[in-house]
Amino acid sequence: MQNVKEKWLKIANVYYVLFALGVLGVYAYFAYKQQTPDIKIEEYGLSSLTAIVAIATIAYCLIILPFIKRYSIWIGYVTGFAFYGMLCSVATEQAIGGPYELYFLVLILTINIFAALYGLAAGMSVIGLIAIIFAMEISNTTEPTSFGLHFDAIYSLLRSSLTVVLIILLRKYYVTQLSDKNNYIEKYLVKNEVVKLLTNSLSDGVIIIDQNEVIRSINPAAVNILGQEAKDILDLNYRSVLKLKNSDGSNISQDKEPISKAIAEKQSIQQELLLPKNGNDIFIDIAVSVITNEDNQNLYGAVITLRDISTKKKEEAAKSEFISTASHEMRTPVAAIEGYLALALNPNVSKIDPKTKTFLQKAYASTQHLGQLFQDLLISTRAEDGRIVSHPEVTEIGEIMQKQAEYFAVVAQKKGIQLEFIISTVNMQNNSKAIRPLYYTYADPARIQEVTNNLIDNAIKYTEAGKVTIGLTGDRNVVQIFIKDTGMGIEAEDIPHLFQKFYRVDNSATRTTSGTGLGLFICRKIVELYKGQIWVQSKKGQGSTFYINLPRLDSSQAKAKMMHDTARTDK
């Protein structure tokens, strides 16, 4: 059995039932015709014993097998095959000497071969049935075939030998498969008492599924999270139990569903999603770890870990709301202080001595920094909660970057560094008459400008000499913006954390340069808002290059989108 996928085992199981029903139907026809259940039709291998075995085969395959499978799929299907083999053997015995004996002999030979392919236990069980029939012939309990006892002996030996040879030839494959998939899951995870003890003691929910996506084990914490009984969950496909949604409440697409994605890609995935429970949606942190054979990458199944983070989400929402409200409220008095300091520094309004002016200038600069901090806090909390204000439209990125290059060229010149603007390898500052390609995307131009402002300003700020390059390129699907500098570069260990909240690289340049540690975090959130990507490539002492990829629209798509937006606005 081990080298047959379970879907084929299920199909074979259906065939056993249909075969047994067919035998039982023919038996019922003759029993009705002869008005007695005690019949013996040798031509068809029928008798009351055949009917009993057929009923037993149907009862096992339809009623008993589902319960056996909970313990072991291997034993369940092999036993089903043994019932089928017994039915064929009994029919063969009844038909010996009849006109259809040759067909029954071919049938039982086929069963032998199938048994060997099906697995060790099935092969041995059929060999046992052959031995019983031949023993009955020797003891004169039943008559040999018309070919004679010697032929039956040779034929029995041939069938048994063929089965044994096939089992030996496929032994290595059986051993591999026996340790694989359901048997691996059953032996090492589902039935392992140590694993049970560990999972049952965890506060996180743990669900173990096999390679067919069937739930094989579930711990008490998972039962509590799902709000169902364990008996109502086991042996079900996980999709009927874990009806996951996106964190915004929308239905999750098949390619984004973490469990099927992890199984398909054979890699671990962690995600925050919504899970319906008792009519409400709860936030869960779901982690999927696939279990595979390290040698051949065969999939055994997966371990799904669930954590209810609804309380954590409420606390985060409350914290974000407090920061947002506080930042908004504090911006007003800070703006007022900044305004009054600006008036005090205005020579047309007041006369102050140089020393006092120095103090006021420092206070004014600090107030500006404080105002920027509150502004960044407000934007970052809204970005984190998905509440950032955005008015997307068809935007030509080249036009935005042209204006950015013109503005920051003056800033860079004041610092004594060069700034160049390149579109698809053409330097637009040295060749102003060049026809530049149009790079359309669907985004809020103000937000894109905010992101590029931050990146270009940082590039100039952290470059003491050399140049800053603003680049724009792309292909049919992507618009790519890059900002390259010849500054100090970034340490390798800092790069993975660069776009995290409040993270700042600790070096001599950052200590002397003001910053909130929120700029790159906000940039990442804005870029992701438009289904884009942002990343950096840098080496210490060799400068840095920041990249932004945004989905590109061709001219026809841009025109159609603009017409659609115009029509929607007019309604």
Provide the pairing of β-strand 269-277 with 280-292. antiparallel
pLDDT for the residue 176: 41
Give the chain's domains with CATH numbers.
Answer: 6-178 (no CATH), 196-308 (3.30.450.20), 314-384 (1.10.287), 393-558 (3.30.565.10)
Q: Which tokens go with 86? A: 């017994």
pLDDT for the residue 383: 67
Helix count (H) and strand count (E) of the chain? 19, 15
Q: Which tokens go with 40? A: 């013996």
- Which has the closest alpha carbon to 118: 18, 5, 210? 5
Q: Which tokens go with 246? A: 């996106």
d(C-alpha 343, C-alpha 354), whole Å: 16
Neighbours of 359 (CB within 10 A): 10
Neighbours of 57 (CB within 10 A): 25
Would you give per-residue pLDDT tens digits along the chain (571 residues)? 344 556 667 877 888 899 889 888 888 888 888 888 777 776 566 778 888 888 998 999 899 988 887 666 667 777 887 788 778 777 766 666 555 556 666 766 777 666 666 666 666 766 776 777 677 667 776 666 666 677 767 777 777 777 777 766 765 555 444 444 456 777 778 778 888 888 889 999 999 998 888 888 999 999 999 988 888 888 888 888 898 988 878 888 888 889 988 988 888 999 989 998 888 889 999 999 998 877 667 788 899 999 999 888 887 777 767 766 776 677 778 888 888 788 888 888 778 888 888 888 888 888 877 777 777 777 776 666 666 778 889 999 999 999 999 999 999 999 999 999 998 765 655 555 556 788 999 999 988 998 999 999 999 988 988 999 999 999 889 999 999 999 888 888 888 888 887 777 765 555 445 556 788 888 898 898 899 999 999 988 889 999 999 999 988 888 888 888 777 666 5
pLDDT for the residue 95: 61
Q: Which tokens go with 6? A: 């379970």
- CA geometry: angle 95, 98, 101, nearest 5 deg: 65
Per-residue burial over 7-29, b = 16 or more CB atoms within 10 Å of its CB, e = otherwise: eebeebbeebbebbeebbebbee
Residue with tokens 């899951």: 185
d(C-alpha 258, C-alpha 264), whole Å: 10
Q: Which amino acid is at 96?
A: I
pLDDT for the residue 546: 95
Q: What is the DSSP string of 311-365?
A: HHHHHHHHHHHHHHHHHHHHHHHHHHHHHHHHHHH-TTT----HHHHHHHHHHHH
Per-residue burial over 362-394, b = 16 or more CB atoms within 10 Å of its CB, e = otherwise: eebeebeeebbbbbbbbbbbbbbeeebeeebeb
pLDDT for the residue 429: 58
Provide the pairing of β-strand 478-485 with 467-474. antiparallel
Per-residue burial over 135-162, b = 16 or more CB atoms within 10 Å of its CB, e = otherwise: eebeeeeeebbeeeeeebeebbeebbeb
Q: What is the DSSP string of 506-522?
A: -SHHHHSS---S-HHHH
Q: Do residues 553 and 397 make contact, with C-beta atoms less than 8 angstroms apart?
A: no
